[in-house]
Chain A
Amino acid sequence: MRYFRLHRIFIAQYLKKLMEYKADFLLGAVGLLFAQAIQLIFIGIIFSQIPDLRGWTYEQILFIYGFSLISKSLDHLFTDNLWMVGYRIIRKGDFDKYLTRPINTLFHVIAENFCVDAFGEMLTCVLLLCVSIPKLNMPFHWYTIPLWIVAAIFATLIYTSLKIITAAIAFWTKSSGHITHMLYMANDFSKYPVSIYNRFVQIVITYILPFAFTAYFPASYFLTGKDPLFCIGGTVVAGSLLFALALFVWNRGLKAYESAGS
């Protein structure tokens, strides 16, 4: 409870900071809308050329793409400061500050930033889902909505955990931003049906960097109603395991932290 309250306070402070630099905020917002509009147009062009892909229809592909943005944008919105951990905070010794405060370091570092850029992705996400869902004859039960929520939470946890792990590498290497970046490039695979890839890529994005569980598997369950145990259960298991690993790596990292000279 205390952490929820703190999180709210941190976000409020962040928004105040945003208002402090109004011009920057406004220009950023305009730029973001442009970028999202261009992306939408781009998606439209690509998918209108592909009527179906390995048995997936145009609308189904739009749905998977839109679904992939739920977890991606949530992670982006709340945990963007992890990028800075890998790029700057550890290397410069600024991590000292978090270690002298009586709250969890991981929570503190994450809560300190709130990335409003993510609203652009959310907009795209909502648009894609709104366009595709009415045209799809998706099974609907009383438990569909709770399952969506569960899938969204654990899919986000997959993203966040991978980001925590790659950021924490900087405790040993001093800088790991580029590793996080590489990983982020790999998540592009998750936007499309996994069945279009070769065996090797499929194994990697299912069992090693389980991006497939952030979009394709849960989305295909909501589309077809098949295999809930693997599709949703897999997301829960992958998210939980990765998060446990992330906490472990982070805590080991804290012990290896070397600060910087002053």
Chain B
Amino acid sequence: MENMIYADDLRKEFKKIIKEPGIKGSVKALFKPHKEIVKAVDGITFSVPKGEILGFIGPNGAGKSTVIKMLTGILTPTSGTCRINGKIPQEDRKNYVREIGVVFGQRTQLWWDLALRETYAVLKEIYQVPDDKYKKRMDFLNEVLELDSFITSPVRTLSLGQRMRADIAASLLHSPKVLFLDEPTIGLDVVVKENIRNAIRRINAEEGTTVILTTHDLSDIELLCERIVMVDKGKKVFDGAISELKRDYGDVRTLNFELVNSPDFKLLDYKRRFNLTDDDISVERDKGTVKVRFDTAAVSVEEIISYTLSTVHVKDLNIKDVEIEEIIKKLYRREVRV
């Protein structure tokens, strides 16, 4: 399939002046600066096919935002190239940005003091959206993101959830081919998160928009992305489908058993029964509930259930969906060698 986004050996270095603490250190740094080069992005290569939603994840300070800023033309790479829809962002910025939408969850691009619809009116002019198209677009965005109830309020009075919806609508006004979302669900409640995920899914399905999404909320990833790229300390540490991640690094599942007699808990000894280590399984107890989290590569769901049911009286049991969170935590902690 045709690649929409292509990044080749992207690097970004920042010069940093190391200061000793205190005023003395600051003065010293002024006359005799001790410079150090920080490699924020250290040779990242990846591509995104047209119409894909790519999850771009990594711990804080991994270089996610720096990559996004290079792809959107905000930063100039120290070396390496990126090409989006056949264009190099740094070469022809003004034409390039017409085709992309950008949302930085931590920052708004709306006009703070004006009614929300004024922002859209200005953006319409900036992006030269024709009147009839604009009207249709606003109707569509209203429907998808439910802007109607606050479109006449000044932006400063919006709640965070409203503001984020408004910001996403602003980034979509000119029907971009690629949408960059940097933490679009940060700090939002479950309902708004759901609303925003639905909107992203719909835009992607109906318009074939390619989406790059950075987030710390792994349910965003599980619900929206087929593929993830994980970065850490400026380097790519994983690139592939979520199913691959699970296959390669273990499929961690959680079973919850509610016991009839909670002291029965002592009878359960999974480690000895299946000969497992601490890495394979963890058991937590909360009053009458036993939470068993295990790697299906080491022991199957069936084995755990039948052993538990035959050992103790179980009032209720539930199986939690597959969690990639555990794998990612391991990767973040570099427990897994890639």
Q: List residues of A whose CB falls within 8 A of some B CB.
A: 2, 5-6, 9-10, 13, 16-17, 20-21, 93-94, 96-97, 99-104, 255-259, 261-262
Residues of B within 8 A of A (CB): 14, 61, 65, 69, 72-76, 90, 93-95, 97-98, 100, 102, 104, 106-107, 109, 111, 113-114, 118, 121-122, 125-128, 154, 182-183
Is B126 a contact partner of A96 (Cβ separation < 8 A)?
Answer: no
Do the beta carbons of A94 and B125 come within 8 Å of each other?
no
* B126 touching A103, Cβ below 8 Å: yes
* 6 chain-A/chain-B pairs, Cβ below 8 angstroms: A6-B126, A94-B107, A96-B74, A99-B73, A102-B126, A257-B74
| A97→B126 CA distance, assembly (Å) | 13
Name the contact of A9 in the complex, choosing from B14, B94, B122 (C-beta under 8 A): B122
Give the contacting residue for A102; candidates B98, B111, B183; CB below 8 A.
B98
A93 to B154, CA, bound (A): 23
Q: Let me know if A93 and B97 touch, CB within 8 A.
A: no
| B90 CB contacts on chain A under 8 angstroms | 255
**CB-based closest 3 A-B pairs:** A17-B113, A262-B106, A100-B102
In angstroms, how far is the closest chain A Cβ from the Cβ of B22?
21
User: How many angstroms between the C-alpha atoms of A2 and B121 in the bound complex?
Assistant: 15
Q: How many A-B residue pairs have CB under 8 A?
A: 71
Are B118 and A16 touching (Cβ within 8 A)? yes
Asked if B65 and A101 make an inter-chain contact with CB atoms under 8 angstroms apart, the answer reads no
CB within 8 Å for A13 and B118 given contacts A5-B125, A94-B107: yes
CB distance from A233 to the nearest CB of B (A): 34
State A128–B75 Cα separation when bound (angstroms).
48
B122 and A102 form a contact (CB under 8 A): no
Assembled-state Cα–Cα distance A94/B69 (Å)? 13
Closest approach, in angstroms, between the C-beta of A218 and any C-beta of chain B?
35
In the complex, A94→B74 CA distance in Å? 11
Contact of B74 among A5, A13, A100 (CB under 8 A): A100
Q: Which of the listed residues A6, A94, A262 has the most CB atoms from chain B within 10 Å of its own CB?
A: A262
Cβ-defined contact, A104 with B125, below 8 A: no
Residues of B within 8 A of A9 (CB): 121-122, 125
Is A96 a contact partner of B104 (Cβ separation < 8 A)? yes
Q: Is the CB of A93 within 8 A of B75?
A: no
